[in-house]
Amino acid sequence: MRRPIIAGNWKMNKTKVEARELASRLRRDLHDVFDRDIVLCPPFTVLFAVWSEIEGSQIEMGAQNMVWEGPGAYTGEICGEMIKETGCQYVILGHSERRQYFKETDAIINKKLLKAFFYRLNPIVCVGETLKERESGRETEVVSAQIEGCFAGLSEEAMVKTVVAYEPVWAIGTGRTATPEQANEMHEYIRTVIAKLFGKDCAEKVRIQYGGSVKPDNVDEIMAQPDIDGALVGGASLKPEPFARIVRFENI
Ligand code: PGA
């Protein structure tokens, strides 16, 4: 049985006051939820502030990015050691916005991933095709290349700890979700690619989240799919009510 994992990606949102308010509300509203992992991913500037609100609770924290190096001369970057110190257990890597706006490649994501393990951070690695790639029927080809590139040189043990987030780029922030069946089909495919690279046992254990316009009114259906183990939530994670409802998805 794979333990569900719901993560909120706050992206480039929230001042310190707003972040503390949201985190403390979620701590209160979700105090009785223990059968799934809950992860908040605030921007770097408020990680310490959010941690001070959730420390001692079952809610965990993740950063949204990190550099592939240790401390040193990388002006403007943040390394795994610094992230770990804030209280984070997770780090999101290779989000499509980073691939698109900051030219992150699978090779860069791979270097970050290996470094994340060095600092004992569990990576949430995003993969997913663009609309153009889906329309030209290349979605599985694109996603399998991303998986091979991002996870190159990883041990089976590390792969099991890695969370994969399938986020079709055309469904992010657009209100347009993949149908639960479409999403599940890709999740199943991702599992076969992981099985080929790391073995069947590993593929069965790896958690695969879906991301892209997950909302309170579609989460139950999405989470009912057999190969979907969680959600990476953007827009709907910025307010306590919708995010708490998503975390409390119901088994249908
Ligand atoms: P969205 O974003 O829920 O706003 O579509 C998801 C994501 O980019 O992680």
Which residue owns the Cα nearest ligand 1 atom 3?
234
User: From ligand 1's centre to the CA of 173, what distance in Å?
Assistant: 5
| CA-based nearest residue to 24, from 6, 1, 50 | 50
* Mean pLDDT, range 180-201, rounded to an integer: 97
E strands of 21-113, at which residues? Answer: 37-41, 60-63, 90-93
Specify the residue for token string 């998986």: 147
**pLDDT tens, residue by residue, 105-136:** 999 999 999 999 999 999 999 999 999 999 99
* Annotated domain spans of the chain: 5-247
Q: What is the pLDDT of residue 176?
A: 83
Residues with C-beta less than 6 Å from any ligand 1 atom: 9, 167, 172-173, 211-214, 232-236
Domain 5-247 coded CATH 3.40.50.80 = no
| Predicted model pTM | 0.97
- In percent, how much of the chain has pLDDT > 70? 100
- In percent, how much of the chain has pLDDT > 90? 96
Average pLDDT over the chain, rounded to an integer: 97
Asked if 212 and 250 count as a contact pair (C-beta separation under 8 A), the reply is no
- Helix 139-150 vs helix 180-198: crossing angle, to nearest 10: 40
Q: Is 157 a catalytic residue?
A: no
| Pocket perturbation via mutation, ligand 1, pick of 172, 218, 238 by most ligand atoms within 8 A of CB | 172
**Cβ atoms within 10 Å, residue 120:** 11
Q: Which one of 95, 97, 104, 129 is the catalytic residue?
A: 95
What does residue 9 show for φ and ψ, rounded to 5 degrees?
-100, 105
